[in-house]
Structure 1
Amino acid sequence: MLLFCPHCGNMLRVGKVLPGDPSTAEHVGKQTFTCLTCPYEFIITQRWYDRKYNTNKKEPDDIVGGENAWDNVQTQDNVLCPSDTCDGDKAFWYQLQIRSADEPMTTFYRCTECHKEWRE
């Protein structure tokens, strides 16, 4: 949990009330939220906590593939489908860089007839 100074906006740190200031003499030894930039100090007099629940969780994005992976892709002729039952020679394809930069891009194919997917 982070709290910020209402005067300057910097992050407040947890510290202790030090002796020597007559205005805080009764609170010496108690913990405070202290700003390191300005003289703001908030003395903690009760247990301090803040609980937040994440109610709208985001679904993870599908990085490679998913529903829209084959939208707006190109077709290529003279590509033999690896399926034994299909004799298609045309396929959709797209490329992704899934390895490091010194490796070539990976090409993903999908047969236009039987929809079998493979990569090279």
Structure 2
Amino acid sequence: MLLFCPTCSNLLTISPLAGGGSLRLECRTCPYQSAIGTPIYSRRTYERKEREDIFGGAGAWDNAQKTKIKCAKEGCNGQEAAFYTVQIRSADEPMTEFYKCMTCGNTWRQNG
């Protein structure tokens, strides 16, 4: 939690009082000081957002190109898969290819 100076709006820092033992909030740009008498904390709970597919949701594979490739899943004899490529790493790394088997629906990826 950040607290700001009421006179100059700069960030307040926590430092020990001159007598020791207690703490105070002080501004580093103006003479403002305030003793901390009670614990200062803030607790917030956030709602979790509904997670959606990053690459387009349910319709992501509708317009994908198809290629002849063997399915990566054991026991599947699929020889065709839909695919698309995405640059998910730095620019000097090759693109990543995402595949979906047209026979069993298995998805996998390969780094180029």
Aligned Cα root-mean-square deviation (Å): 3.4
- Whole-Å separation in 2 of the counterparts to 1:52 and 1:94: 43
Q: Distance in 2 between matches of 1:74 and 1:118?
A: 14
Q: How far, CA to CA, are the matches of 1:41 and 1:97 in structure 2?
A: 51
**Structure 1: which amino acid aligns with 2:85?**
Q
Q: In structure 2, what is the Cα distance between the partners aligned to 1:95 and 1:31?
A: 56
Aligned residues: 104
Alpha-carbon distance between aligned partners in 2 of 1:58 and 1:6, rounded to the nearest angstrom:
35
Q: For residues 51 and 9 of structure 2, what CA distance do their matches in structure 1 show?
A: 33
> 2:57 maps to which residue?
68
Alpha-carbon deviations, 1:55-91, whole Å to 9, x = none? 424466765x6x71751642235x144332x4x54x3
Alignment partner, residue 117 of structure 1: 107
Q: 2:94 matched to which residue of 1? A: 104
Cα deviation, residue 94, structure 1: 0.8
Name the aligned partner's letter for residue 36 of structure 1.
R
**Which residue of structure 2 aligns with residue 41 of structure 1?**
33
TM-score normalised by L of structure 2: 0.61
Residues 117, 32 of structure 1: CA spacing in aligned structure 2 closer, same or farther, 3 A cutoff? Answer: closer
In structure 2, relative to structure 1, the CA distance for the partners of 1:69 and 1:105 (3 Å cut) is farther
Counterpart check, 1:94 vs 2:84: yes
Work out the CA distance in 1 between the residues paired with 2:35 and 2:106.
Answer: 67
Secondary structure at the residue paired with 2:8? coil
- Tell me which residue corresponds to 1:24: none
Aligned-pair identity (%):
38
Unmatched tracts of structure 2, length 5 or more: none
Instruction: Quote the offset at 1:48 in angstroms.
Output: 2.5
* Segments of 4+ moved more than 6 angstroms: none
Who wins on radius of gyration, i.e. which is larger? Answer: 1
One-letter code of the match for 1:92? A
Query: Structure 1-normalised TM-score?
Result: 0.58
